[in-house]
Chains A and B, each alone.
Chain A
């Protein structure tokens, strides 16, 4: 199906009679890319679905106020990014334990064959990525897995391009080392 431009989607959304139709198109158009990012951040499918649903509810509630000074995708990605960080924070608070328990919870997904289909080296890579702090993991995921440009990442995270480059550079070196020396949880 042909993708609509931001302005076409927004025009449809702002008309009362096509509001729900436009939103349905918007979800269909962006759900895969947003899901992919969210899933890599929270790892569990059910949790990823909930986080993504909350993301789209916030998009629905905020779309009237969207002023198109950034791309629609970047704006939605930013909401998804914040929802992921918020979810992980709540996970830590909810478990009332230290970071290692959360790590265990996140990495358990890669041992579940219904959730993860990769081989041993892929499993090691995912475990290594999960060792990164949440914000750095988000940067790594956006760049390495989702192939976003630094400018786009800057608009999503509100961080300068220089800081993102440094963060990614450090993350890549750490993950490479953990994978090659098998220092993964």
Chain B
């Protein structure tokens, strides 16, 4: 403070004379209200910056993390035995895949047995299930076709 006064006294006598007066009008209750105003804006800011679906407390992150871990475990846990798997798969095989394990020659042989020339034209556009039903009805379906490697 002393430093400033000395400086000004010589350099700017008018400014020196005018110092120390604050002519700006300040509302009487400003400094009583202002801290509340700041706190409100901070709370508003933190509300805005956290979307409704985001946890507000740090520990609350544990809930979605636990749920995610549970879902992951349910989806990727070690599977059941190979035999059980096989049964389960069998139940979901699409009809179009029923003939996948059959050698083509065996199929044509079965056709030939039914219609005599081995062309089987009536079956060309049929689904596997229809072909199998047709051959079975005609007594031309041998079980070995499903057990031998194609």
Interface residues of A (CB under 8 A from B): 20, 23-24, 27-28, 31-32, 35-36, 39-40, 43, 45, 49, 52-53, 56-57, 60, 110, 114-118, 121-123, 125-126, 143-145, 147, 149, 169, 172-173, 175-176, 179-180
Contacts and interface: CB of A to CB of B under 8 A. Distances in A.
B74 interface: no
A60 B12 contact: no
A57 B24 contact: no
Contacts of B15: 125, 144, 172, 175-176, 179
A144 B35 contact: no
Given A24-B39, A57-B45, A176-B14, A49 B23 contact: no
B24 A172 contact: no
A179 B41 contact: no
Contacts of A121: 18
B35 A117 contact: no
Contact of B34 (A49, A114, A147): A49
A116 B24 CA distance: 5
Given A24-B39, A57-B42, A45 B31 contact: no
24 contacts: A20-B39, A23-B39, A31-B31, A31-B35, A43-B24, A45-B25, A45-B27, A49-B30, A49-B37, A53-B37, A57-B42, A60-B38, A115-B24, A115-B25, A116-B23, A118-B23, A122-B18, A144-B15, A149-B3, A172-B8, A172-B12, A173-B11, A176-B11, A176-B13
B56 to A, nearest CB: 12
Interface in B37-55: 37-39, 41-42, 45
Interface in B1-33: 1, 3-4, 7-8, 11-15, 18-19, 21-27, 30-31
Contacts of B30: 35, 49
